[in-house]
Amino acid sequence: MYLKRLFTTTLAILATSPLLADNCNSCDPCDPVEVCNDCTPAFLCGCICDWCDWENGWSVQADWIYWKVRRCDLDYAIKGPANVDATLEGKYHCVDPSRDGGFRVAVFKDCGDCWRFGMRYTRFETDAYDSVSSPVEDTNFVATRAFILTNAAPLVNAVSTYKFDLGAVDLESSYLFRFDCSDVTLRSFTGVRIAFIDQDIKTKYEYREAIDNDDADTTVDEMMTMDAYGLMFGLESEWDDLWCGVGLYGKIASILSVTKFEASHLETNVGTEDTFSSQVNVKKRQYLVVPSWEIAVGLEYKLCPWICADWDVKLGYEFHSWCNLPDYINAPSSEVKGMLTRAKTDLSYEGLFLRLTGTF
C-alpha cells in the first residue's frame, strides 16, 4: 500500500507542477486565442484555450467525506440453540462497518470559458469489529470463515475485524455548457480513474477440545486487494441562486476499469502448548473489466455576499458502487456446514460530503 500511496502522491505533484508552463513565453503567434468572428460557431465563442495563461483560472476544492462501506459476506459465525438432531439453526453474525471520515482534494485549471482540466485525490479508510460468545454446551455455534472447521469441538468465542482502505486519483477534462438567460449550467467530463482498494478481515475462533477440555485457537487472515485503471464519463450540473443564494448540485458518472485482484487466505491453529500449525495458505490473482458508477446530489451556497472572493460551499450525499467483484477465497469443500458461497459481490460506499471551492 505504501508504493500505491507514493504513486498517487507523485501524480499529484506532477499534475500541479509549474514546470508545465516553462515554454509559455514562446507561444506561436498563430495560436487561436481570440478568433471569434462571424464564422465561429456560437458554442465555441469564448471557449478557445490560451495555453500561455497560467496565472488565471485556477480553482481548488477541499472535501470532508463521511462514508459507510456496504458489502456482503462479512459473516464469521452462526450461533443458534442446541438441539439433539444436529440440525443447523441460528443467526449469522457479521461485521457491520460504521461510518468514518476521510478527505478529497482537487485542483482545476480553466482554459477559456468552457474547458477545464484537473486532478482529484480521494483518501478514505475505516475498520469494524464484532464478537460473539457461547456456552460450551451450545453445539450450534460454528465458524463460517474457516476451511478446517471445529464442529467436533464446540466454539466458545469468535472475534472478527474488517479493515477497508481506499486511495484514488482522477485525471479529468470537462466542457461547460451554458444556457441563455438561465442559472443552470451543465458540464460534461471524461478522464482516467486510478483506484487502489484493500480489504482485510481477520477472525479468531476460540474453542474447547471435547476430550481434555484444553483451550485452543484458530486464526483466519483474509486479504483482498484491488488495483483499478479505468475510463470515466459523466455529467455535472449546478442551478445557481434557486432561493436566497442557495442552489442545487448534481453529478453522475460511470467508470469502466481494467482491474487486478489478489486474494489470500491463511488459517493458523494454536495448540494447547502454544504450538503453531498452518492449516490453509492459499492465494489467487485474476484480471477483470469491472463497471462502477457514482451519483451525488446536494445544495450549494455562494459565499460572495460574505467575503470578497469567489468561494462556495456544497453539502450533499453521494453513492459509489463497484459491480461484480471477485470475493474472498471460498472453501473448496462442500462439507463445510454453514459456509456461504463467495464468488461475486458488489462493493459500495455512501455518505455525506462537505465541499469548499475557491476560484482564483
> E strand or H helix at 341, and its extent?
none
Tens-place pLDDT, residues 329-353: 776 554 555 555 566 789 999 999 9
- Determine contact, residues 218/272, Cβ cutoff 8 Å: no
Amino acid making up residue 62 = A
Torsion (CA) 21, 24, 25, 26 in degrees, nearest 10: 120
Tens-place pLDDT, residues 275-326: 556 678 889 999 999 999 999 999 999 887 677 668 899 999 999 999 989 8
Cα–Cα distances (Å) from 264 to 70, 166, 298, in that order, read: 21, 19, 40
Task: Name which CATH class applies to 2-18+57-359.
Answer: mainly beta
Beta partners for residue 296, in sequence order: 251, 318
How far apart CA 351 and CA 68 sit, in angstroms, is 6
Any idea where the domains of the chain sit in the sequence?
A: 2-18+57-359
Give pTM, 2 decimals.
0.81
Counting every residue written for the chain, the total comes to 360
The predicted model gives 143-152 an average pLDDT of 67
Residue 211 pLDDT level (bands cut at 50, 70, 90): very low
The predicted model gives 74-91 an average pLDDT of 72
Amino acid making up residue 170 = D
Q: 129 phi and psi, to 5 degrees?
A: -140, 145
Residue 274, C-beta contacts closer than 8 angstroms, at least 6 positions apart:
none
The pLDDT value given to residue 169: 98
Output the nine-digit C-alpha cell for 75: 459473516
How far apart CA 165 and CA 340 sit, in angstroms, is 24
Tracing cell 482485510 back to the chain, one arrives at: 200
Tell me the residue ranges of DSSP E strands in 112-214. 115-133, 141-143, 155-178, 184-208
Cα–Cα distances (Å) from 281 to 29, 142, 187, 287, in that order, read: 66, 21, 50, 21
Residue 90 pLDDT level (bands cut at 50, 70, 90): confident
Residue 136 gets the label, from left (phi > 0), alpha (psi -120 to 50) or beta, of: alpha
How far apart CA 199 and CA 223 sit, in angstroms, is 6
Residue 245 gets the label, from left (phi > 0), alpha (psi -120 to 50) or beta, of: left
